[in-house]
Structure 1
Amino acid sequence: MNRVGQKILIVCDSSKSLIDFRGKLIEQLVQNHQVSVFTPQITHQSIREKLSQLNVDVYENKLDGSNVSVFADLKFIGQLYKLIKKVRPDVFFPYTFKPVIYGTLLAKLCKVKKITPMLTGLGYNFTQEGKTGLLSYITRRLLKFSLGKNRRLKIIFQNKDDYQTLLDHKILTTKHKVAIVNGSGVDLEHYEYTMPDASNISFLMIARLINAKGINEYYEAANNIQSQYPDIQFRLIGAYGPNVDAISDELYNKIKSGKTITYLGEVHDVRPYINDASVVVLPSYYGEGVPRCLLESMAMGRAIITCDSVGCRETIETAAEPNGFLIPAKNVNELVSKMEFYLNNRDTVRSYGINGLAYARKKFDVNLVNTEMLKIMQLN
């Protein structure tokens, strides 16, 4: 392989995201450049094999992006500093909060030529519930310090609302160099269109089991619908674990019982489950970048219901060819109403799904997004 070009260091807080979210970008980068990744320990052999096939240099750590540990974070900072000095990257690309905060600061200190952090959503720290907490306050202060204006720094957002939020909080100013891309994109060849079942409608939600993703709203809506339509199936995919905003044990036990929702836990490949669903639901008010599960569902031709909230609203085409509905956050009645719309207008399950695929092709094709990413990194 021709390894001319520049050295790129990618830092993340999830090894799974390297292939799921950045796989196509890495494939393009390695064609002409040397790519290294600094990732939490890789537990799936398939991820390790894929990175090896791409000739990516892999360095592992024990970072946990969801939990607070001063000792673990300090260790991560020390390891990352040594790695930057060792690799001497031309382009430094961290994404998600901890890699962005710590990595951007270290990259400045080490005088990396091009620093392109990506904020893949602002998450819990800027929600109404989260922004009053001490941890969120500290996160915002660190973010402001780390993202201080620098001629070598260009910050990447996945939606315009996040950029405006950081301006409003005076974390950024209009003098900062920024770019906005359409999420992480979706591989339209990997997530192929299949015709949804409009005669036996079922609903699917894909999300971590945290409150701000709208888990309770989905559960309550499912209860309501099943009281009138007992044969309608509701499924839920997503990890449950320690998190500052994790759902209550009571709600988790209700979900796990299987009486209302079929809970499938975390799965390696969502495609078979999207294929089996008629409509995909994400009533999130979390502070998303652009939700990947909705892009995957649109690519496979599924109608959607989501919230009129940051990141989520990017996925709905509300003009002449609608692909789904935006509902107010935390509004179970509106969620039920839109579910009933699909049940009472079954032809829209397929027509909205086809519209969603067209919208994904137009705006979210991973190849279009990655072309923009290469321009931002000045690697095109």
Structure 2
Amino acid sequence: MNKTGQRILIVCDSSRSLMDFRGKLIEQLVQHHEVYVFTPRITQQSVREKLALLKVGVYENELDGSNVSVFSDIRYIIQLYKLIKKLRPDVFFPYTFKPVIYGTVLAKLCRVKKITPMLTGLGYNFTPNAKKGLLSNITRKLLKFSLMNNRRLRIIFQNKDDYQTLLQHKILTAKHKVAVVNGSGVDLEHYEYAPPDIKNVSFLMISRLINAKGIYEYYEAARNIRLQHPNIQFKLIGAYGSNVDTISNELYSKIKSGKTITYLGEVDDVRPHIKDASVVVLPSYYGEGIPRCLLESMAMGRAIITSDSVGCRETIESALAANGFLVPVKNVTELVSKMKFYLSNSNAISSNGVNGLAFARKKFDVNLVNAEMLKIMQLN
């Protein structure tokens, strides 16, 4: 372990995200600092090997970020408290809800010098359907308590809408120190440009199978289009599991049948599937940070169709250099219309894809985002 520089503790709710979303940042941090991670159990051997190669200190837990379990959460809080006391980090960097809520409070109690929680989207808890739910009310109260202003605290957002939302809910005040970065960024060397197939147009959606991601809307749009164009392929990648907003068994059965959509489940590498697709679709109203799947698709030169909703709208450039379309939330008719546009204007698939790559280079390059992250953590 590198013993120079500062000691940094990264806390997450998914081991997959460590290298997928934070890999490049960790690579930069370990060059001059000691880096430790507190993560749910690592199930991918490649992640474990990469962290070992980088000499990152790994501590694992049994947290399930998607489910509610009081006893599990209490055990998690105790483990994290003991770890912070043991490591005494100079910088505490949690991301996603449970690590942010629990970790930020504990870091304050342990008097960590720099606390930089990142909210990678506000998720289901701030969608219209969730506003009156007991769980969402509890989450918002816990978030307010956790993020009470402190001179050692600086909160990181992935879009300005999320910051405004927390101001409106009086979870934050104008006195809070905040920073906004362009999502998690995308590695433009890893996600290389590949010309899209415009002769055999196909569509791809990459998402967990929860309602607010727009799974139903994507399925209905596919069903509608296949009535007239039965040979058009629609693919779906993403995990199906327990979540407060998981799609119904009925919709899942329809998807699994393969009659309308080809369901590929969860995959380790999305690149071959993006390469095979002509257009990538995400009709989400979930409360995204900035959807990583759209950034990856833009980097590979794919036109995108997404919702005019928080986080998603950040990925569409102005009409002067269009890289895709925004559609109203839950509007299947408009989603179908934009899909049909690409079926009738296949050359736009290529030009919009090239524009998307240029937009990704300008705004979402992971090296640009990580430079901002280092400034926020005062490590540059």
TM-score (norm. length: structure 2): 1.00
Q: Which residue pairs with 1:25 in the alignment? A: 25
Secondary structure of the structure 2 residue equivalent to 1:301: coil
Q: Counterparts in 2 of 1:1-380, with a 5 A limit?
A: 2-380=2-380
Query: Is the 2:131–2:137 Cα contact (8 Å) retained in structure 1?
Result: yes
TM-superposed CA distance for 1:132, in Å, is: 1.1
CA distance in 2, matches of 1:308, 1:28: 34
Query: Is the 1:16–1:47 Cα contact (8 Å) retained in structure 2?
Result: yes
CA distance in 2, matches of 1:45, 1:266: 16
CA distance in 1, matches of 2:60, 2:231: 47
Identity %: 80
CA distance in 2, matches of 1:171, 1:16: 29
Letter in 2 for 1:144: K
CA distance in 2, matches of 1:192, 1:243: 33
Query: Is the 2:2–2:34 Cα contact (8 Å) retained in structure 1?
Result: no
TM-superposed CA distance for 1:35, in Å, is: 0.2
Query: Is the 1:39–1:61 Cα contact (8 Å) retained in structure 2?
Result: yes
TM-superposed CA distance for 1:319, in Å, is: 3.4
Secondary structure of the structure 2 residue equivalent to 1:92: strand
Query: Is the 1:3–1:30 Cα contact (8 Å) retained in structure 2?
Result: no
TM-superposed CA distance for 1:41, in Å, is: 0.3
Secondary structure of the structure 2 residue equivalent to 1:4: coil
TM-superposed CA distance for 1:169, in Å, is: 0.0
Q: Deviations over 1:13-58 (max 9, x none)?
A: 0000000000000000000000000000001111000000000000
Q: Deviations over 1:75-120 (max 9, x none)?
A: 0000000000000000000000000000000000000000000000
Secondary structure of the structure 2 residue equivalent to 1:359: helix
Letter in 2 for 1:255: I
CA distance in 1, matches of 2:23, 2:338: 34
TM-score (norm. length: structure 1): 1.00
Q: Deviations over 1:168-201 (max 9, x none)?
A: 0000000000000000000000000000000100
Secondary structure of the structure 2 residue equivalent to 1:264: strand
TM-superposed CA distance for 1:2, in Å, is: 4.8
TM-superposed CA distance for 1:3, in Å, is: 3.2
Letter in 2 for 1:236: L
Letter in 2 for 1:324: G
Q: Deviations over 1:140-184 (max 9, x none)?
A: 000000000000000000000000000000000000000000000
Secondary structure of the structure 2 residue equivalent to 1:275: helix
TM-superposed CA distance for 1:131, in Å, is: 1.6
CA distance in 2, matches of 1:3, 1:267: 36
Letter in 1 for 2:262: T
Letter in 1 for 2:71: F
CA distance in 2, matches of 1:174, 1:280: 37
Query: Is the 2:221–2:335 Cα contact (8 Å) retained in structure 1?
Result: yes
CA distance in 1, matches of 2:168, 2:178: 15
CA distance in 2, matches of 1:23, 1:351: 30
Task: Could you tell me which runs of 5 or more consecutive residues in structure 2 were left unpaired when the two chains were aligned.
Answer: none
Query: Is the 2:196–2:277 Cα contact (8 Å) retained in structure 1?
Result: yes
CA distance in 2, matches of 1:3, 1:163: 36
CA RMSD of aligned residues (A): 0.6
CA distance in 2, matches of 1:151, 1:364: 29
Misfit runs of 4+, over 6 Å: none
TM-superposed CA distance for 1:130, in Å, is: 1.1
Task: Could you tell me which runs of 5 or more consecutive residues in structure 1 were left unpaired when the two chains were aligned.
Answer: none
